[in-house]
Chains A and B, each alone.
Chain A
Amino acid sequence: MLNWAYPDAMHVRTAVWMAQASGVLPRREPVPDLDPLSVTFRFQQSIRLRDTQVRLDGLRGRLDIALAGQPMPAFAVVLIGPMLWTRFESAEGTMNMVPHATGPARDDVVIVTDEPVVAALAEGRITVREARAQGLVKTYGTSENVVRLSALLDRAFEPKKH
């Protein structure tokens, strides 16, 4: 359904596994031989989701520091694997994260990506600019907001050059 509101959102899925196959992203872990209905599986899933939340929060923190009080367009990130929405908005000089959002707010810029990309960003294996170039991140919104947000994100996640 995402594919309708955000054209080519499904392409991100393909980009992710291609990146994993080519080594741009770390190889995926083998699917464990678990019954999707079993308690173990669901427990595993919830751990994974929690890890993702933690990473997103970590990214929020870095963004917060990098912005240093600058305003930033509000945006919502959707991870297409678990279909998880998370909103980010800046208020009074800090970046806030709203986990488990039901969706984007009216004027949010929407970023479509997936868990492995978030993990790679958090570990510093890839920058936002590179991710976008590989099709791992797609951004939707008014052209002005998209440009501004992308520029700010790129700057925030540039590798430190000391």
Chain B
Amino acid sequence: MRTHSLRRSKLAALPAGALAAAIAGVLALPTSASAQADAGAPDKAKLEKVHPSKPGYSPYAGRTFPTLPLFGDTHLHTSYSLDAGAFGARLTPKDAYRFARGEEITSNTGQPVKLSRPLDFLVVADHSDGMGFFPQLMGGDPEVLATPQGRKWYDQIKGGQGAEAAMDIIASFSGNKMPKGFPTPGTPAYRNAWQETIKAAEAYNEPGRFTAFIGYEWTAGGSSNLHRNVVFRGNGAQAGLVEPFTTLPPLGSGDPVDLWKWMAATEQKTGTEVLAIAHNGNVSNGLMFPVVETFGKKLDRDYVQTRARWEPLYEVTQTKGTGEAHPFLSPNDEFANFELWDKGNLDGTATKAKDMLEFEYARSALKNGLKLEEQLGTNPYKFGMIGSSDAHNGLAALEEDNFFGKTAPQEPSPERMTKAFIDNQKTGVKVMDWEVGASGYAAVWATENTREAIFDAMKRRETYATTGPRMAVRFFGGWDFTPADANNRMPAVIGYAKGVPMGGDLKSAPQGKSPTFLVAALKDAIGANLDRIQVVKGWVDKEGKTQERVYDVAVSGGRKIEADGRAKAPVGNTVDIENATWANSIGAPELITVWKDPQFDARQRAFYYARVIEIPTPRWTAYDAKRFGIKPLPGTTMVLQERAYTAPIWYTP
């Protein structure tokens, strides 16, 4: 019977894929991680027991702590994402992995593109809602085209009304009016899309050399961004036992509490671990870091514990702006005004009110988290920091001189600096394309380049965010660091031995002691020199109010740090905007110091994180202006000081 054979052979298509996955999984190349770890499976216990009695000649022999930072992107979209596809992205997850691994590929607009250096890991995190829809629709997937709606869109796109179709598709989505048969979890079409995503990750995951994580983005909140990226620790067989959590009822939900429930059920079901990384508090219009109530319920012990359990990291910098600090919240921090997107919510349908800011930015969230810990017993905002791209074109290309934009139309062209990204007539919220940032990457101190080691480092928060360059940053906290430690030629050995690394905890200060920090930064091998290292402290004072203060702890060029902890002299500026060049004649290639908190009160909760700032360099807009010979719009930012933000170290009395 013809129909029956059609049905049966559907299943026959799978084995070919499974075979490929099996082959890829067997790819055990000789480990190249020798410089990084040679002592077998690392774990936290071992790390804490490191005692180099007499360092041998080789600094890395016998070490079980991470010796090199790994750089990656945890937030990349491909044509499998509904909106990326709507904008014309055709690159698939496989293309994205190949590019991240250092291969040269052709971009969505036909341009050859290659990273300056390969990345170490990548999460292709396509939106769970409608995952794989466009490739299926345009590839003629029968499941999708069987529905009248699907058919209509297909014909519209073929018939030149692609823009209308795209708008209709996205509107149907947001209005939760997807037609029957639209790929939702449980349908064969959706399962195919998820399996393809998994297959791509499995094919390009090479332990020891490049890690491809399985993941997706849960895109909740509608116009007020509450998105999280979900990352799996395990392999395809495990991830394939579940399907991603979406945001539209009845199968999905827009409340993070429900996502966390799904995560708990998933760990049970698959036997592996997952974590969630939120981003873009800056366009959540006050909803990202609540302190009183959320979704109609007051914050309680359950909420703070659950949030802390599932969200160990926060993506603080990406193409839609950087959300560490805001000048309104931190008027004394002259570096707070950096790549801000503070005009409104995600799609510009609502403007920003000043009283929203406190609940949107990382530093104030870290501060409020201390208070919530006092009140409810757990700190829900105890997160490490990372950067990622949120690029919607399959290309994690975020260097200022190699920036391929956030969407396919934003790939290099003479027009990409002059159009508007969001232009809402009603609210007046306008964000220009030039405001999109060429940012960021996640840096992780993992003991080796494998899914397990990187994931574990994320769980313990031994991470930092960079806005693009690959500086190496160390940050250790302890009670016994001395200035001489900054002269030590193996600061990591001292750091792990005498203290805790970034993301760690200090507790119950010994009598009369203040916390000391060993902090070091090495510039990107092909990047700009460093201007300074700062330590940002946040604490709860004796009135129960949160406070913050920024200290310069190491500055280049012998500039003096005054008694108030600030170096007044700026580092200078060698940028030639016209020619988009700069010189490393100012700044320092590396900075290292030991700093002690001069105003420590052992009874007060506090956190400390390091912020490393480079000398000024040209922004991607300057490279575009030079290369295309065009004049930027008035007000376009052309110069910036790239930076890194480490995960904090927390002090609890």
A interface with B by C-beta (< 8 Å): 1-5, 7-8, 10-11, 13-15, 17, 20-21, 28, 30-31, 33, 36-37, 76, 78, 83, 85, 101-104, 110, 135
Taking the closest CB of chain B, its distance from the CB of A95, in whole angstroms, is 20
* Bound complex: CA A13 to CA B87 (Å): 14
**Do B160 and A102 touch across chains, with their CB atoms under 8 A apart?**
yes
| A21, B158: Cα distance in complex, Å | 32
Q: A3-B90, A5-B158, A14-B413 are in contact. Are A135 and B630 (CB under 8 A)?
A: no
B494 CB within 8 Å of chain A: no
Given A4-B138, A17-B628, answer yes or no on A10-B160 (Cβ-Cβ < 8 Å): no
| Cβ contact of A31, chosen from B134, B157, B158, B630, cutoff 8 A | B630
Are the C-beta atoms of A17 and B160 separated by less than 8 Å?
Answer: no
> Which residue of A has the minimal Cβ distance to B108?
A10
Closest 10 CB pairs of A and B: A103-B160, A1-B162, A11-B110, A3-B88, A4-B138, A103-B159, A10-B109, A14-B109, A14-B110, A5-B157
Query: Chain A's nearest CB lies how many Å from the CB of B573?
Result: 26
Q: Do A4 and B160 touch (CB < 8 A)?
A: no
Are A104 and B630 also in contact (CB < 8 A) when A3-B108, A10-B108 are?
Answer: no
Q: Can you name 11 A-B residue pairings with CB atoms under 8 Å? A: A1-B87, A3-B88, A3-B90, A4-B137, A10-B90, A11-B109, A11-B110, A14-B109, A14-B111, A28-B414, A103-B161
Contact (Cβ within 8 A) A78 B160: yes
Q: Which residues of B contact A20 (CB under 8 A)?
A: 414
Is there a chain A Cβ closer than 8 Å to B634's Cβ? yes
A20 to B110, CA, bound (A): 16
Q: Does B652 contact A (CB under 8 A)?
A: no
- Residues B90 and A17 in contact, CB atoms below 8 Å apart: no
B side interface size, CB within 8 A: 39
Listed in ascending order, the chain B residues whose CB lies under 8 Å from chain A are 85-90, 108-111, 134, 137-138, 157-163, 165-166, 408-409, 411, 413-415, 418-420, 423, 425, 628-631, 633-634
Would A13 and B160 count as touching, CB distance under 8 A? no
Whether the pair B138, A13 counts as a contact (CB closer than 8 A) is no
In the complex, A2 Cα to B409 Cα: how many Å?
12
B134 touches A4 (CB 8 A): yes
With A and B bound together, what is the CA distance between A36 and B138 in angstroms?
Answer: 33
Chain B residues with Cβ under 8 A from A2's Cβ? Answer: 88, 162
| Bound-complex Cα distance A1 to B134 (A) | 10
Q: How far is the CA of A104 from the CA of B88 in the complex (A)?
A: 19
Q: Given contacts A11-B110, A31-B630, A31-B631, is CB(A1)–CB(B163) below 8 Å?
A: yes
Judging by beta carbons under 8 Å apart, are B165 and A30 in contact? no
Q: Which residues of A contact B86 (CB under 8 A)?
A: 1
Q: Are A17 and B157 in contact (CB under 8 A)?
A: no
- Smallest CB–CB gap between A34 and chain B, Å? 10
A1/B165 in contact, CB under 8 A: yes
Q: Are B628 and A7 in contact (CB under 8 A)?
A: no
Minimum C-beta distance from A103 to chain B (A): 2
A33–B134 Cα distance when bound, in Å, is 37
Beyond the given pairs A8-B110, A36-B420, 11 more chain A to chain B contacts, judged by CB atoms under 8 angstroms and listed by A's residue number, are: A5-B157, A10-B88, A10-B90, A10-B108, A10-B109, A13-B413, A33-B633, A33-B634, A76-B160, A83-B163, A110-B160
* Least distance between A120 CB and chain B CB atoms (Å): 17
Residue of B nearest to A110 (CB): B160
B165-A10 in contact (CB<8A): no
Asked if A5 contacts B138 (CB within 8 A), the reply is yes
| Min C-beta distance of A78 to chain B, whole Å | 6
B633 nearest in chain A by CB position: A33
From B89, B138, B160, B425, name the one whose CB has the most chain A CB atoms within 10 angstroms. B160
Q: Which residues of chain A are within 8 angstroms of B425 by Cβ–Cβ distance?
A: 37
Q: How far is the CA of A2 from the CA of B134 in the complex (A)?
A: 12
B109 touches A13 (CB 8 A): yes
Q: Which residues of A contact B414 (CB under 8 A)?
A: 17, 20, 28
Task: Tell whether, in the assembled complex, residue A17 and residue B163 are in contact, meaning their CB atoms are under 8 Å apart.
Answer: no
A7 near B631 (CB under 8 angstroms)?
no
Q: Are A4 and B111 in contact (CB under 8 A)?
A: no
Q: Are A135 and B631 in contact (CB under 8 A)?
A: no
CA of A103 to CA of B162 in the docked complex: distance in angstroms? 9
Q: Are A102 and B161 in contact (CB under 8 A)?
A: yes
Cα A4 to Cα B163 in complex, Å, equals 11
Chain B hits for A83, CB < 8 A: 163
**Residues of chain A within 8 A of B631, CB atoms compared:** 30-31, 33
Provide the bound-state CA to CA distance between A1 and B423, in Å: 20
